[in-house]
Structure 1
Amino acid sequence: MVSLTNFNKLSEILQTFITDEEVADLCEKWGYEDTARKLSAHDLIRFFVISSSKKWESFRDAETKLPKEKSLPSVDHSTLAKKAQNVPYQILQELFSRLIKRLGRGARRALLKPYKLFAVDSTTITFQHPDMSWAGYTRTRHAIRLHTKFDVEEGQPTQVVSTTGRDHDVMVAPRLYKDLESLSIITGDRGYARTSDFQYLHERNQFFVIRVAKFFSLSEELEHSVPLDAGGKVKVDQTAFIGKGTRKTKSRFRLVTFTDNEGNEIRVATNLMMMSPEDIAYIYKLRWQIELFFRWVKGNLDLSNLFGNSPNAVYSQVYGTLISYFLLRWIYNETKEEWEILHSYTFIEFTRRYIAHTLPMEVRCAIKSLFGKWGSLCVSTGKI
């Protein structure tokens, strides 16, 4: 049984949900023979999750800190680099997807009953290194891009598609639109505005609120009256066919134009016909939560500081970082109601105390209670 103290360690939490047997099965699936004695594939997974949360700066930096980390073997930086280059990153990618499926089924408070709101967006991580030509972006810089579907209410990513920096949002969007829950709403910025996708989502009874550029062609516009409220930000509420020629939509969609807090005009397309225009504007503004997620991951888990140069090393670190974020956010979401009366921690404050092992006893007891419900089943079966 894991002690109360160990529930405050991310390595022990990770071990609860990802077993050695599961990692071994994934190694076999992806054709990797794990023969190393000093550093196993599972050790490498733990390394990337722990290094991101503790903000280790490089493989060399990690070498000096590993002796103090009891859950990891002490190895030199060259061993770490070689292992990261050889272990298929798809193993960490699949573990991240499995965690989402296992831990994303908890009770949810309805944000916009009965709808479930997802934001889609991408973040680009750029770097300069002569050995990273595989991630071409510009003449002097290389980049990878994380295309993400984000559960706004839970504050959690539910899907991440990793590509090089040249893969634009609109080309990857169809992969994010698959397997949506019923009564889902997708909200996105102009990078996701494509008329064929509007029609695709509409014909599958999926809702969307996506920003469109001013140059988008409209035809057969029908405007609806907007209350003359001096403080109102909604300017236009209309329906129209979007696009022209072969790209013109088959269905008539709604377009709501409003201003943001800085007075900038925003126009969104949607197939939500029964909601008020103010609600449509509000849904789009909630898209900002995914931007905050990207900022948090880059700033607090140091994702912009890449350790290795090869695709395996880079993408393994990326998915290790995402696993770290997912577990921390899940623990925070699942325990907050039990201790928030006594301690009003933000997610950032909670995470800092969790990593530093300075959480109050009430919070640690709530975490122990959580794993009393989940831990034994996970350890015995490896499944939720």
Structure 2
Amino acid sequence: MDKHKQKTSFCKWIAPVSFENLPLRLQEQIGQTNTYVKKLYFDRFLKLMLHAISSQKASLRDIEASLLNPDLQAELGFDSLSSSQISRKIRRINPIILEEMFYFLVSLANQGKRNGKLPKAFIVDSTTVSLNKTRYPWAEFRTTKSGIKLHLRLAYIGKGDAYPDRAIITNASVHDVNRLEIVVDEKLATYIFDRGYMDFELFDKFSYDGFFFVSRIKKNSLVHVMSEYEVPPGGSILQDQMVVLGGKNGYLTDPYRLVEVMDTQENKLRIITNRFDLSAEAISQMYRSRWEIELFFKQLKQQTTIKKFFSRDEDGLKNQVYLALIAQLLTYLVKLETQSVLSSLTIQRYLFASLWEASELWETRIRGKPTESK
């Protein structure tokens, strides 16, 4: 059978963003972008760019050269395209379209719910990508360089099981705490973030509004101990206290819980939270799950090439970031559907190894249990 008459792994991967599967409003927006277009229609552009991301293309010329592949030619319906044509398309697409596509995929991930499992927490953090000041003058950052910042919220299900469900792209000069309230919007959920988001008044506001949080505090934070809780001997928990923060003519918070723990590197961590219903060990483990977002950022930059941008234009750059996030969600949706125990990164690698093979081959590989190392 001709492999292009059956569903390839690539087709399986991108199926959720196929035109017919998208919401009507998004279809209408996409239709408007195809006006007066002769070759690079939006669906072809999307396939080309997702292929470039999945195969880690480093430049527009690499993408141009990839069209020498007959399988990709057959998928797209044309056999050549210049790097300048790709560049123009990237910057002419309205980022709102790809942003809405990202949130559409988030809704699918939320519906999947991993056999009914709800997120244990939401991890919030940002990552900064430094840029050349001359090439990206619009991306305000520092005197000597430009940059953008991706503010991200990760829905955390369990170790190795998380997906992005909120994303905001700003200039790197925007402080993290200025975007925190935007991503904290689900009551009774627990939000985990680092000390870069410390704001005593905001902590109180979260508590008043019914949001739980777990965060580190800075070394110079003023702490007033109100009472001590018993700490089991021999563990990593050093102290468990009820405290208020601030003072000395500054803002004084409501009572919170301060858990001091020793990490694996023998460093002391001071964790503040408004969760009084959990054990100190559970609070410690919850904060340590923050490492999941660090791994996600590392994978996003290394495996989806957002360190190497294909456009100097602001819209083009935002489009590439959203495409990278869309690629991550597409892989996560396959993980959900197949109930695979493999990491998203491993699933992505298996995809690239069997890109133009029948999708059943890829699905069979990722449904299996991971091989134990000897």
TM-score clears 0.5 = yes
SS of residue in 2 equivalent to 1:219: strand
- In 1, distance between residues paired with 2:134 and 2:61? 20
C-alpha distance 108-349 of structure 1, shift in aligned 2 (>3 A): closer
- In 1, distance between residues paired with 2:270 and 2:196? 13
Report what 2:169 is aligned to. Answer: 162
Match of 1:198 among 195, 198, 203: 203
- In 1, distance between residues paired with 2:346 and 2:365? 16
- In 1, distance between residues paired with 2:10 and 2:272? 45
Report what 2:370 is aligned to. Answer: none
Contact 1:117 1:151 survives alignment (8 Å): yes
Task: State the Cα distance separating 1:36 from its structure 2 match.
Answer: 1.6
- In 1, distance between residues paired with 2:306 and 2:359? 28
Contact 2:53 2:324 survives alignment (8 Å): yes
Contact 2:146 2:172 survives alignment (8 Å): yes
For each residue in 1:3-58, what CA deviation from the matched residue of structure 2 results, as whole angstroms up to 9, or x when unmatched?
A: 65324433445316754965442258xx8673221212333333332211111111
Contact 1:335 1:366 survives alignment (8 Å): no
Report what 1:332 is aligned to. Answer: 335
Match of 2:216 among 208, 211, 216: 211
Report what 1:104 is aligned to. Answer: 110
Task: State the Cα distance separating 1:268 from its structure 2 match.
Answer: 1.1
Report the TM-score, using the length of structure 2 for normalisation.
0.85
Contact 1:4 1:365 survives alignment (8 Å): no
How many residues matched?
A: 352
Report what 1:143 is aligned to. Answer: 147
- In 2, distance between residues paired with 1:140 and 1:359? 50
- In 1, distance between residues paired with 2:23 and 2:82? 23
- In structure 1, runs of 5+ residues without a counterpart are 369-384
- In 2, distance between residues paired with 1:20 and 1:118? 26
Report what 1:77 is aligned to. Answer: 83
1:225 counterpart = 2:224: no
Report what 1:86 is aligned to. Answer: 92
C-alpha distance 185-20 of structure 1, shift in aligned 2 (>3 A): closer
Amino acid of the structure 2 residue aligned with 1:93: E
Task: State the Cα distance separating 1:365 from its structure 2 match.
Answer: 5.8
C-alpha distance 363-60 of structure 1, shift in aligned 2 (>3 A): closer
C-alpha distance 312-217 of structure 1, shift in aligned 2 (>3 A): same
Report the TM-score, using the length of structure 1 for normalisation.
0.83
Bigger Cα displacement from structure 2, 12-21 vs 60-69: 12-21
- In 2, distance between residues paired with 1:363 and 1:224? 52
- In 2, distance between residues paired with 1:163 and 1:147? 8
Alignment of structure 1 residues 14-93 onto 2, 5 Å: 14-15=17-18, 18-19=21-22, 22-27=25-30, 34-68=35-69, 69=72, 70-72=74-76, 73=78, 74-93=80-99
- In 1, distance between residues paired with 2:119 and 2:85? 48
C-alpha distance 32-360 of structure 1, shift in aligned 2 (>3 A): closer
- In 1, distance between residues paired with 2:265 and 2:358? 39
SS of residue in 2 equivalent to 1:118: strand
- In 2, distance between residues paired with 1:106 and 1:253? 35
Contact 2:228 2:240 survives alignment (8 Å): yes
